Amino acid sequence: MRKVKVGIIGCGVISPIYFEAGRKFEILDIVACADLDLDRAKARAAEYEIPKACGVEELLADPEIEIVINLTIPSAHAELHLRALEAGKHTYGEKPLAIRLEDGQKILAMAKEKNLLVGSAPDTFLGGGIQTCRKLIDEGWIGKPIAATAFMMGSGPESWHSNPGFFYQAGAGPMFDMGPYYLTALVNLIGPVKRVSGSVQTTYSERTITNNMDYGKKIPVEVPTHIAGTLEFLSGGIGTIITSFDVQGSRLPRMEIYGSTGTLIVPDPNTFGGPVYIKGYNHTDFVEIPLTHGFADNSRGLGVVDMAYAIINKREHRANGEMACHVLELMHGFHWSSDRGSHYNVISDCKRPAALPNNLPYNALNG
């Protein structure tokens, strides 16, 4: 099997799981890594036996690299995607695709012009948990989906994260940081969205760090920290989503899908595994459904793997730019709706990504 050569830009906290994907999936051949801090790139290269550590320009100019994995900070996502495309590379990045919607649209336009692929995290919807849910929905176990709920309720990252400040800057907050997991899962399970509404608030103007390193330091808050939204799906049905950094405790479920003949409890969309529960109209209680698909462990990078197979076999990939841009528009739509006091009509569209087969070999995807 031909390997696809990959370069990683951004060697920070999230990068190890992507380097591990290069060891786990034989289709990926990570040949170079880059970072603004060259010493950090060299350290990752030594740790994961990567042939070359270099600057960003040198990596983008390398003619053998086919896919650039963009692991920079959110404010740099769009610029680096565009630079990679301009250099003739397919590009896959961490979420969100971009901060500004117009930048996401520009990325898609350039990719189409150059006949290149764009992909974006999250790829957790390719894991065994949500793919099992997708199979159950597609096979009619809960009938026609008529409603959904999605809740990400927390008190914020300042008590545990080593650098929590960026979570309260533009391009982050609970919606732009965690919303992509929930919204991508909903699009995968139910389909694209035609209209949204939202109410947002910034509960505190500053937060106080309570981790061990910067205890007591104040963080200015530049983004809403509690967002409540509704979604109207193109296929019918209404969704409710709340993402919050202002909640000290909650017993709300992560995600539930309500169908005409049953209810499906979807596992945490920030993970790849289960559990999955279902209650039919003739059931007295929920029953756990064994996972029908693999990749239930931490398989971040699976979206890149699927892109690599798509390049070789000239097919569509699942964690694609169109879906990522659709999700980006939904997130902006909640804020737009709250600011203007009216519904936001969604302009973008995307397909539900193809479901994964449930008979895949270990650590491989279908061609």
Tens digit of pLDDT for each residue in 281-299?
888 999 999 999 999 999 9
Give the pLDDT band (50/70/90) at residue 360: confident
Sign of the dihedral defined by the CA atoms of residues 136, 123, 120, 88, in that order: negative
Structure tokens at 258: 């309500």
Half-sphere exposure of 360 (CA within 13 A, CB side): 21
103: left (phi over 0), alpha (psi -120 to 50) or beta: alpha
Average pLDDT, the chain: 96
What is the pLDDT confidence band of residue 367, given thresholds at 50, 70 and 90? Answer: low
Structure confidence by residue, pLDDT tens digits, 170-226: 889 999 999 999 999 999 999 999 999 999 999 999 999 998 888 999 999 999 999
Q: What domains appear along the chain, each with residue ranges and CATH number?
A: 4-120 (3.40.50.720), 125-289 (3.30.360.10)
> What is the Cα–Cα distance from 110 to 131, expressed in whole angstroms?
31
pLDDT digits (tens, 9 = 90+) for 55-99: 999 999 999 999 999 999 899 999 999 999 999 999 999 999 999
**Does this model's pTM top 0.75?**
yes
| pLDDT per residue as tens digits for the range 317-358 | 999 999 999 999 999 999 999 999 999 999 999 999 999 998
Which residues are CB-contacts of 144 (< 8 A; sequence separation ≥ 6)?
Answer: 236, 237, 259, 260
Q: What is the pLDDT of residues 135-151, one digit of tens each?
A: 999 999 999 999 999 99
